[in-house]
């Protein structure tokens, strides 16, 4: 799949290869869903090219005209340069969009973690409340905030309802550690011990840093359901559920509706 998860890589590559070669006049489509090599295409194949890519297609006037229109429609000089630079890439336009989106998201996650570490412990607790409520836990924000960060139980920072009716509860531990710090097995073991004392079997341990391999292996082997959320996973969830972030630009990609042009007569 493409990084967006919306389309298979093979289908995307086939679509754009077909589209580009059609623009270059190398492929004809006599009927819907039927594609044949044109006379120009047969002439090109007779030369036995090593590969057919954008640079080769630029030799054909019809493709050069299309491509120049595509670049000029980008809107501003920076985007035109980006379009032209992308011509040397084997990636399709969707792949380029997904790659750029992935790069922007990676930078956003790093910025989120840095800003979290600048805030107070109270802000970190409030952030966890916001995230858990956004994910569907705890009912209302007020109900979640009343219980999280105010329990006073050793080894447990808060309790949140698993559902709106409060049929089950999840116990939360939050550790705001700086970069390079690691939460080890003893800290997780202490949290589990607190859950046993409270006769609880579900817990979430959240940290801004990372968990050691021993801590991860220990949590996986427990009878209780303990979820470990490190800094990377925390920022991933924040982006996914819109906590601490907002939409800067929304790009809608439209595609030709073949059904609309189908001739049923």
Please give the radius of gyration of the chain, using alpha carbons only, rounded to the nearest integer.
27
The verdict on residue 72 lying in a domain is yes
The verdict on residue 165 lying in a domain is yes
237 and 123 in one domain? yes
Nearest Cα to 117, choosing from 216, 208, 49? 208
Containing structural domain, residue 177? 119-241
Q: With contact defined as beta carbons under 8 Å apart, do 1 and 7 qualify?
A: yes
More confident residue, 47 or 197: 47
The verdict on residue 109 lying in a domain is no
Of 90, 107, 130, the domain-final residue: 90
The verdict on residue 253 lying in a domain is no
234: tokens are 């925390």
Give the pLDDT confidence of 219-246 residue by residue, as tens digits. 998 888 899 999 999 999 999 999 999 9
214 and 150 in one domain? yes
140 and 55 in one domain? no
254: tokens are 């439209």
The verdict on residue 24 lying in a domain is yes
Give the pLDDT confidence of 198-215 residue by residue, as tens digits. 888 888 999 999 999 999
The verdict on residue 98 lying in a domain is no
One DSSP character per residue, 219-244 reads HHT-SSEEEEE-HHHHHHHHHHHTSS
Q: With contact defined as beta carbons under 8 Å apart, do 95 and 12 qualify?
A: yes
179 and 216 in one domain? yes
Phi-psi category of residue 46: left, alpha or beta, with phi > 0 → left and psi -120 to 50 → alpha: alpha
Q: Can you give the CATH number for the domain in which 186 is found?
A: 3.40.1350.10
9/3 Cα distance (integer angstroms): 9
Angle at 17 between CA 11 and CA 22, to 5 degrees: 125
Q: Is the pTM of this model over 0.75?
A: no
Tell me, what's the pLDDT at 89? 59
Residue 48 has pLDDT above 90, yes or no: yes
Q: What distances in angstroms separate CA 156 from CA 36, 44, 74, 120, 259, one per listed residue?
A: 68, 71, 53, 19, 57
The verdict on residue 172 lying in a domain is yes
52 and 139 in one domain? no
74 and 187 in one domain? no
Tell me, what's the pLDDT at 45? 96
237 and 124 in one domain? yes
84 and 127 in one domain? no
Task: Please give the backbone phi and psi of residue 167, each rounded to the nearest 5 degrees, phi first.
Answer: -70, -25
85 and 161 in one domain? no
228 and 130 in one domain? yes
Q: With contact defined as beta carbons under 8 Å apart, do 144 and 172 qualify?
A: no
Give the pLDDT confidence of 110-143 residue by residue, as tens digits. 889 888 988 888 888 888 888 888 888 876 666 6
The verdict on residue 97 lying in a domain is no
- Our count of domains for the chain comes to 2
126 and 79 in one domain? no
141/243 Cα distance (integer angstroms): 13
Residue 255 has pLDDT above 60, yes or no: yes
123 and 83 in one domain? no
């Amino acid at each position: 799949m493409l990084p967006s998860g919306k389309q298979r890589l093979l289908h995307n590559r086939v679509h754009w290869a077909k589209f580009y070669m059609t623009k270059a006049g190398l492929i004809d489509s006599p009927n819907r869903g039927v594609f044949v090599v044109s006379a120009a295409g047969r002439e090109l194949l007779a030369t036995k090219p090593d590969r057919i890519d954008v640079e080769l297609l630029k030799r054909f006037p019809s493709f050069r005209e299309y491509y120049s229109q595509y670049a000029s429609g980008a809107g501003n000089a920076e985007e035109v340069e980006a379009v032209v630079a992308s011509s040397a890439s084997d990636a399709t336009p969707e792949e380029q969009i997904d790659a750029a989106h992935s790069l922007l998201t990676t930078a956003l996650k790093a910025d989120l973690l840095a800003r979290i570490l600048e805030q107070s412990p109270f802000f970190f607790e409030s952030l966890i409340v916001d995230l858990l409520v956004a994910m569907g836990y705890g009912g209302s924000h007020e109900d979640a905030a009343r219980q999280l960060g105010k329990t006073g139980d050793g080894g447990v920072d808060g309790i949140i309802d698993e559902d709106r009716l409060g049929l089950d509860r999840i116990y939360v531990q939050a550790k705001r550690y700086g970069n390079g710090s690691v939460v080890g097995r003893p800290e997780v073991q202490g949290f589990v011990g607190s859950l046993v004392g409270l006769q609880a079997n579900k817990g979430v341990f959240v940290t801004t840093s990372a968990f050691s391999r021993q801590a991860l292996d220990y949590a996986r082997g427990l009878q209780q359901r303990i979820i470990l959320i490190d800094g990377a996973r925390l920022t991933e969830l924040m982006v996914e559920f819109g906590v601490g972030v907002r939409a800067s630009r929304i790009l809608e990609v439209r595609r030709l509706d073949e059904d609309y042009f189908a001739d049923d007569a």
